[in-house]
C-alpha cells in the first residue's frame, strides 16, 4: 500500500506553492497568536479518501496543528457527518483549508464513484478496473482512491505492464508479431492486447496474450469472444462503459470491465470546514 503515497510529499508541495505563493495575504489580518478549532463536515453521502494528503498539507505548513480523525479512508459516511477536528494556529488552519479540502474532495469523489460502479456489478465475479485517464500529477493518489472504493488497479503506468493497442500493432507489423516481441523483450511481464473484432481475438489467442481487451464490442460479440476464449486468457471489456451497462456486461462472463469514468468524470464531494476562534 505504501507505493500509493510515493508522490504525496511532492503533490502537497506543488499544491501549496500554487495556492500560497509568497504569502497568505488575507491570513495576515489575524493576530499571529490567535488559536482556533475547526471541524470538517461532509455534506453528502460519500466514501472518504485522502486523509494522508490532508494531513500532509498541515504538516508542511505547521506541524503543531493537531488533527483528530473520526473516520478512516474507505469508510462510508453519511450526510453532515463529522470527519475530523483540527486545533492550532488560526492562520495556519485558514491557509491550509482550501488545499487540504481540495485533495479530500477529489479523492473522495473518485472513491465514491468507484463504489457506485462496483455496486452496480452486483454479485457477479467480474472486477472493475481503472485506467491511466487520471488527473495529471495525481496518478498514484487516484489509484489509491479507486482501491478505497472497492475497485482494482489496471497498470499504474507504462512501466509495470504491457498493453498493445492499435497503433502499436500497426507499427510492429501485426498483432501476433507485437505480442511475440513483447514476450521476448520482457519475459514474465503481463501482456495485454487490445482487439477490435473477433478475428483479432483469435490472433491474440494464437499469440498467447495474457489478457485480451474487447474494445467497444457489442454484447453479442462479447459472448462470442468468451466462447472462443474458453478460459485461455483473461478477458477485459472497455470502451464507453456506462454504469447501467455493468451488470449485463458482467453477465457475459468476462473477467474485467475497465473505465476511465471513475477517475475523470468526477463531481467533487461537498465538504465544509467550520471554525471556532479563541
Catalytically active residues, by annotation: 98, 133, 165, 194, 215
C-alpha cell at 221: 460479440
Plot region of 133 (φ>0 → left; ψ -120 to 50 → alpha; else → beta): beta
DSSP β-bridge partners for residue 236: 213, 256
Q: Cα separation of 198 and 206, whole Å?
A: 12
- Residues 6 or more apart whose Cβ sits within 8 Å of residue 208: 179, 183, 232, 233
Q: Cα separation of 186 and 178, whole Å?
A: 12
Contact (CB, 8 A) for 164 and 175: yes
Contact (CB, 8 A) for 145 and 108: yes
Q: Cα separation of 86 and 126, whole Å?
A: 41
Amino acid at each position: 500500500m505504501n507505493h500509493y503515497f510515493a508522490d504525496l510529499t511532492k503533490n502537497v508541495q506543488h499544491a501549496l506553492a500554487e495556492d500560497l505563493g509568497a504569502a497568505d495575504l488575507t491570513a495576515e489580518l489575524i493576530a499571529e497568536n490567535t488559536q482556533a478549532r475547526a471541524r470538517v463536515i461532509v455534506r453528502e453521502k460519500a466514501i472518504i479518501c485522502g486523509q494522508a494528503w490532508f494531513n500532509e498539507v498541515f504538516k508542511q505548513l505547521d506541524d503543531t496543528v493537531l488533527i483528530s480523525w473520526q473516520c478512516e479512508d474507505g469508510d462510508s459516511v453519511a450526510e453532515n457527518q463529522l470527519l475530523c477536528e483540527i486545533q492550532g494556529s488560526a492562520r495556519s488552519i485558514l491557509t491550509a483549508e482550501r488545499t487540504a479540502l481540495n485533495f479530500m474532495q477529489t479523492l473522495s469523489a473518485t472513491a465514491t464513484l468507484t463504489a457506485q460502479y462496483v455496486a452496480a456489478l452486483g454479485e457477479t465475479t467480474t472486477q472493475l478496473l481503472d485506467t491511466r485517464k487520471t488527473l495529471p500529477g495525481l496518478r498514484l493518489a487516484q489509484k489509491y482512491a479507486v482501491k478505497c472504493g472497492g475497485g482494482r488497479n489496471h497498470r499504474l503506468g507504462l512501466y509495470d505492464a504491457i498493453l498493445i493497442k492499435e497503433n502499436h500493432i500497426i507499427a510492429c507489423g501485426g498483432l501476433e508479431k507485437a505480442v511475440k516481441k513483447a514476450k521476448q523483450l520482457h519475459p514474465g511481464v503481463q501482456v495485454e492486447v487490445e482487439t477490435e473484432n473477433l478475428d483479432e481475438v483469435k490472433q491474440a489467442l494464437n499469440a498467447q496474450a495474457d489478457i485480451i481487451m474487447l474494445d467497444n464490442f457489442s454484447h453479442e460479440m462479447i459472448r462470442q469472444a468468451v466462447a472462443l476464449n474458453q478460459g485461455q486468457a483473461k478477458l477485459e471489456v472497455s470502451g464507453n462503459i456506462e454504469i447501467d451497462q455493468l451488470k449485463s456486461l458482467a453477465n457475459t462472463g468476462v473477467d474485467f470491465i475497465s473505465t476511465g469514468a471513475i477517475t475523470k468524470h468526477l463531481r467533487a464531494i461537498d465538504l465544509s470546514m467550520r471554525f471556532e476562534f479563541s
